[in-house]
Structure 1
């Protein structure tokens, strides 16, 4: 049986956040997205008859939106385990203040911990090699240092993606270079289960084979296609003040038995 740090059985799990937790771009069997949270739920369900799971995450959401729209729902559900990951979409925007964000983040963690739930927090992947994110690397580092401190202060479990070298390889990411692919989500799920002390999740350590050599001309063509198909639409949404998640609803809005 899987149990929390205070001995409670992990009979229910609620996932809160943005596209990372929704599961983009890990294709699921039903035509939607699977993702690391579904993979973790699948493993936890093996140990607990009647296990229940909800995933409230929606792509594109900012930290304040997650805290306002999703956290109160998770609190009302009173699950045994809650995962909370948000803030990356804010940090991509000019003028984002990681210190102010940390106060909002800490308030949400206090509310979740007050229910008695075990809370799972995340640092992000080091954005050094990511074209859009690397210029904001300093903001990301400051915010995730805050997350580490908040996890320590409130007794949360921390999943440190920053240290996962396997996620530094582009083969763990989808074509948009912003969301992990199937293998990336599998590695994160394995790390989460390891942090939770649940066996059978596989290894989160990944040694990739040498990368094939790509001719400079082919590399330039690939970068141009990425800009046309992914970067420019992303910039356009920022200019219009819209989000990829504006018309999206949570894929598992109710805490229900997991099949």
Structure 2
């Protein structure tokens, strides 16, 4: 018997940025995204006619906000399956403490597992290929080692994004270099389904075809453009205490059948 209900908890990664819904977007409406969690839910729904799905994730949320706002709702909904990915936004902030974050995560996982649900946890990407972010690679590694330990301690499924070589190619990422594109989300969905032992049409171990050599001067211009158009505004919002998710509600707050 497959899963009959699934609740996704987290930030922009789980909300699905930047994997846009092509149809059904109203003019002036806040952009709605599909993402790996929707893709996993769609596959699970194919196997279980009564399947229901909720996605509580909101872009920009910190781990404390996710634990306080989303985890109690996930417990209340009592699904068979819960995915929980948090911490990326915290790790990018100066002064964040991966040990404190891990304690917060462990307490939340204990609550979620206490409902009897299967829980899926995630490591994140190795930031070694990203300018600026590679400087805090050690902090990322410490937190993700904690995630592995917490997964073992509470009997969770672990999706090890760090080891996914297919995501080290920039063709899996959107222009902001912080969020996956549709191809990247498709690969993560395939990895999640593999961890859950659910057959998938996609292979998360895929190898990208060779690319033409990029002129180093072009690469430097692209890096400068990324700093100016994406990283700079992101840092500016953090300094002002603002988030891209301020005022936004979850895209699927209740367990409902998929269309």
Q: Is the 8 A contact 1:43 1:201 kept in 2?
A: no
Alignment partners' CA distance in 2, 1:90 and 1:132: 15
Residue 20 (structure 1) aligned to one of 7, 10, 13: 13
Q: Is the 8 A contact 1:80 1:117 kept in 2?
A: yes
Alignment of 1:107-126 (within 5 A): 107-126=107-126
- The equivalent of 2:184 in structure 1 is 184
Alignment of 1:52-131 (within 5 A): 52-131=52-131
TM-fit CA distance, 1:135: 1.2
Q: Is the 8 A contact 1:27 1:34 kept in 2?
A: yes
- The equivalent of 1:146 in structure 2 is 146
SS of 2:111 mapped into structure 1: helix
1:226 aligns with 2:219: no
- After TM superposition, the score normalised by the length of structure 2 is 0.95
1:11 aligns with 2:4: yes
Alignment partners' CA distance in 2, 1:70 and 1:131: 32
Deviations along 1:144-187, one digit per CA (max 9) or x if unpaired, are 10100000000000000111000111111000000001110000
TM-fit CA distance, 1:115: 0.3
Alignment partners' CA distance in 1, 2:139 and 2:221: 31
Alignment partners' CA distance in 2, 1:102 and 1:90: 11
Gaps of 5+ in 2: 26-31
Deviations along 1:73-129, one digit per CA (max 9) or x if unpaired, are 000000000000000110111111111111000000000000000000000011111
Alignment partners' CA distance in 2, 1:220 and 1:160: 31
Q: Is the 8 A contact 1:19 1:58 kept in 2?
A: yes
RMSD: 1.1
Alignment partners' CA distance in 2, 1:200 and 1:84: 21
TM-fit CA distance, 1:201: 4.1
Alignment partners' CA distance in 2, 1:193 and 1:126: 21
Deviations along 1:1-31, one digit per CA (max 9) or x if unpaired, are 42xxxxxxx1000000000000000111334
**Length, aligned pairs only:** 252
Alignment partners' CA distance in 1, 2:100 and 2:65: 15
Gaps of 5+ in 1: 3-9
Alignment partners' CA distance in 2, 1:164 and 1:128: 13
